[in-house]
Amino acid sequence: MTVSRSDSHRGGGGATGGLTNVLVANRGEIARRVFATCRRMGIATTAVYSDADANAPHVAEADAAIRLPGNTPGETYLRSELIIEAALAAGADAIHPGYGFLSENAEFAKAVLAAGLTWIGPPVAAIEQMGSKVESKKMMDAAGVPVLKQLDPAEVTADMLPVLIKASAGGGGRGMRVVRELSELTPQIEAAQREAASAFGDPTVFCERYLETGRHIEVQVMADTHGTVWAVGERECSIQRRHQKVVEEAPSPLVEKIDGMRARLFEAARLASEAIGYEGAGTVEFLADEKGDFFFLEMNTRLQVEHPVTEQVTGLDLVRLQLQVATGRPLPARQPEMRGHSIEVRLYAEDPAHDWQPQSGPVHKLDIPGTRGEFTVLTEPGVRLDTGVVDGSVVGVHYDPMLSKVISFAETRDEAAHLLASALQRAKIHGLVTNRDLLVRVLRHPAFLAGDTDTAFFATHDLEKLSAPLVSEADEKLSIVAAALADAAANRQAARVGRGLPSGWRNLPSQAQSKSYESRLTGKHEVRYRITRAGLEVEGFEGLELLEATPELVILQVAGERGPVRRRFEIARYGDLVAVDSPLGPVAVRRLPRFEDPADQVAEGSLLAPMPGAVIRVGAAVGDRLEKGQPILWLEAMKMEHTIAAPAAGVLTELNVSAGQQVEVGAVLAVVHSEEQE
């Protein structure tokens, strides 16, 4: 590599003496991650933020923060001219793009350099060459890297199915669709183009043969401006939903068991990097089969979401290396060896049991027990947390619903999986539905522990069972009893008279007290109980003894076949939301009023907006007869399209929205009068 190429990172001046102030052209967890390394290196930081992110943690942590007016990515984080103006206004001398948004946009990189700023990323030419997944595969094929043949959407025939539609300019599952029926090809291409345009500003998509099962293996590369190219290590990211990774680990279980596969992967990754004169951090992604054969998918010319697992098994700070390479420093003389095992899960605000429906609203509490550090490489076994939210954060509808990355590090893969599963089960996550239960069940699944993972994991192992609550129905009922007793204690504590007496205590038997709750999993629960001279009596429970009850803690002794067992329940309240945490599993319920307001009732068959969003298309009209599952309208929220479909066969009797309309969560979108009602 020549000196002129090393200058491709630098703008007009100040970078040669080292970086002094870095603007991160991103938000949330990745902005906080880069800031953490900058602080360790004594470099000042600048944040940019949309109106929706005005109170986000990354804004508070930066030395300077510049507002980007608006909420959507198109108004804010995708506006390169606004970001460069912000960097100049704050006195930043470099821009780190993070991942997503403009991180793989060659025009943005050019503009950064033209403004005299240091670009913390690969050369513009490398971004351009890898930015088009169509052209990049041709180049990799010529370089001797194995590739899957690309298909022109206009030439796809029935015998080529299934095919995968992919966005040429981005990743992360945006703009990706699997097509198994030829009649679906055109509408799915149109939907993929809309998503790609919204997420990346480029609607270009292409097709390739879709392999129903496979192993997603990627190699982290790091290259300096002096000719050194490291293949730092591989990661396996096979467990995915909607083509977006959910569980990632290093090293790969598949690569570990196939002799010579790691050397072949590393050689292919180096070939790919050298073919485009790469510099900085990047990832070469492959699709592999169980025999160890693999095919080039794409090269991400940026840092990856899952980079922490590579950091954990190598001891490297990849962001630190990015910053050093951007100022012309060479990589260390010796590349580190991998040690131990690391697993990362992406904690999303979403409901896997209901088509991965994203959630929005406040995060009242996020507490992962056993966390040894945030945004830092652990040197001993433990749990690392890289998060974009803190207690009190609000998850909006404009961005990806990922809350945090929870990462374990241990000597062995089994230990890393058990450590991470335990931390997640015991975590206090209050306020939103998340995929936490699914993650725990995956980490404890026999197939996962055996290393038998592929991209069809959720289809193979029954998503309904994997997404089931960690707590059993019986234990949920016991947790709701604890909630009722804690609420009674809270009421008594707030009372002006007789607050020292237990709530509901009677010297003589009397009518039971009752409190009602609603669980989104099992519906309504009424807890009927008495506290008498003989102790606690709860209808439906035998041998239940109350040992302690405060507004925040209830301790019960529960009768069992082999003797009584003491159970401890921690309770937190946020309005009518009651969160109960115990070793039995997390439970969240809504406290119901004693008398229901008729105005709050909705008609049977009503379809409610699952999240705030924009109606982008309507596919039915009042009076239409619908089949079960037939789409009625499409919402856009969190950079994805969501289909609102008929829950049963029937007639559309009410349609309350039109294309372009914004709706709030819980709004009645439509009403379907089912055949059963008829």
What SS3 state is found at 383? strand
In angstroms, the CA 418 to CA 168 distance is: 38
DSSP 8-class letter at 564 = -
299 in Cβ contact with 284 (< 8 Å): yes
Cα(196)–Cα(203) distance, rounded to whole angstroms? 5
DSSP sequence for 307-372: HHHHHHHH---HHHHHHHHHTTPPPPSSPPPP-SEEEEEEEESEEGGGTTEE--EE--EEE-TTEE
Residue 257: Cβ-neighbour burial (10 angstroms; 0-12, 13-18, 19+): exposed
Distance of CA 656 to the CA centre of its chain: 31
Query: Is the Cβ–Cβ distance between 1 and 227 less than 8 Å?
Result: yes
- From residue 382, alpha-carbon distances to 40, 337, 420, 441, 625 in Å are 21, 20, 9, 20, 56
Q: How far is CA 509 from the centre of its chain?
A: 52
Active site residue 302: yes
CA distances from 535 to 7, 505, 507 (A): 78, 9, 11
Tokens of 517: 């709750």
Q: What is the chain's alpha carbon radius of gyration, rounded to the nearest angstrom?
A: 27
Phi-psi region at 239: left, alpha or beta (left = phi > 0; alpha = psi -120 to 50): beta
- CA–CA distance, 155 with 152 (Å, rounded to integer): 5
525/587 Cα distance (integer angstroms): 13
**Catalytic annotation, pick one of 302, 346, 384, 441:** 302
Residue 369's DSSP bridge partners are none
Instruction: Compute the distance between CA of residue 573 and CA of residue 430 in angstroms, rounded to an integer.
Output: 9
Q: Which residues pair with 118 in a beta bridge?
A: 94
Question: Could you give the 3-state DSSP secondary structure of residue 640?
Answer: strand
Q: Could you tell me which residues come within 8 angstroms of residue 417 by beta carbon, excluding any fewer than 6 positions away?
A: 343, 408, 443, 444, 448, 449
Token pair belonging to 548: 């302690």
- Please report, as a single letter, which amino acid is at residue 575: G
- Residue 480 near residue 486, CB atoms below 8 Å: no
Report in angstroms the alpha-carbon separations of 520 from 356, 432, 524, 588.
15, 12, 9, 8
Q: Which has the closest alpha carbon to 272: 142, 133, 145, 123?
A: 145
Q: Which residue has the tokens 């929220």?
A: 637
- Give, in order, the Cα–Cα distances in Å from 384 to each of 246, 248, 666: 16, 14, 36
User: CB under 8 Å to 60, separation ≥6 — which residues?
Assistant: none
Q: Long-range CB contacts (< 8 A, 24+ apart) of 421-425? A: 422/370, 423/368, 423/369, 423/370, 423/371, 423/383, 424/345, 424/347, 424/368, 425/470, 425/585, 425/586
Phi, psi of 402 (to 5 degrees): -70, 125
User: Which of the residues are catalytic?
Assistant: 302
